[in-house]
Amino acid sequence: MHEEPLVRWDWIGRNWPNIQVLLEDHVVMSLVPIVVGLLVALPLGLACVRWRWLYQPTVGVMNVVYSLPSLAVFIVLIPVTGLATRTTVMIPLTFYAMAVLIPAVVDGLTAVPDHVRQSAVAMGFTPLRRLLRVELPIAVPVVLAGLRVAAVSSISLVSVGALVGRGGLGYLFIDGWQRQFYTPIIVGIVLVVLLAAVADMLLVLAQRLLTPWSRARGSA
């Protein structure tokens, strides 16, 4: 084999518009599952706190969902949602996000100290106001920690979708493999990791803004 440099910058320059398209696709396919996952996890988590018996079965189901290999689920969905569509990739990712977020929502809400809850009741908060003004804000750090895990996993998992024809930046891995060409692979890995890091940082920032009282504790 001839000496091949690990990264050929000229290739990046020439293909930048294509990479940008893949990047956008990647962002959409990882972002939508996180948002939808959160929107579903919040009411479900609340229900699990309200009716404790719901929690064990829900977590059990979510554990099972989380253990299913992503590629297998993509494949099984193909007859329903079609080959190489965004939906095929986004549906499993939504479930993975829920699997992480529901326990986080439940943990966050149950982490509200009992004396805080009691004093809110004593001050005359209605259940809804108590939820919005007291319990949810206190749960925010735990939920955001779950969101960080879900976001980073989601971003990295999208690329597996390339094997079923729709994987955002994952396409670069297929491209590089088929042409025995390192540059796209490395560009893909670097961009996926960067994207994950940016998402993580944004969520840390969001936590600082949403919960100024916990700033002193910092973040892990």
Partner 1 sequence: MVAGEGVGVNWLIDFFGDPANWSGPDGIPVRLLEHLQFSALSLLLAVLIALPLGLWIGHTGKGALFAVLSANAARALPTLGLLVLIVLLMGVGTDIPVLIPLVALAVPPILVNTYEGIRGVDPELRDAAYGMGLRGGQVLGRVLVPVALPLILLGLRIAAIQVVSTATVAAYVGLGGLGRFIIDGLATKDFPRTIGGAVLVALLALAVQLGFTFIQRLVVSPGVSERQAVR
Pick 135 or 171: Cβ nearer partner 1:
171
15 binds partner 1 (CB under 8 A): no
192 binds partner 1 (CB under 8 A): yes
Residue whose token pair is 């000229």: 10
- Closest to 75 in 3D by CA, of 64, 98, 91, 60: 91
Distance between CA atoms of residues 127 and 60, nearest Å: 28
- Site track for partner 1 across 148-167, x = CB under 8 A: -x--xx-xxx-xx-xxx--x
| AA letter at 188 | G
Q: Which two tokens stand for residue 32?
A: 């939508």
84 binds partner 1 (CB under 8 A): no
Pick 49 or 157: Cβ nearer partner 1:
157
User: CA 31: distance to chain centroid?
Assistant: 7
Beta-carbon contacts of 15 under 8 Å, excluding residues fewer than 6 positions away, are 184
Pick 135 or 153: Cβ nearer partner 1:
153
User: CA 140: distance to chain centroid?
Assistant: 16
Pick 136 or 174: Cβ nearer partner 1:
174
Q: Give the footprint of partner 1 on this chain (CB under 8 A).
A: 63-64, 66-76, 78-80, 149, 152-153, 155-157, 159-160, 162-164, 167, 169-170, 172-174, 176-177, 180, 182, 185-186, 188-189, 192-193, 196-197, 200, 220
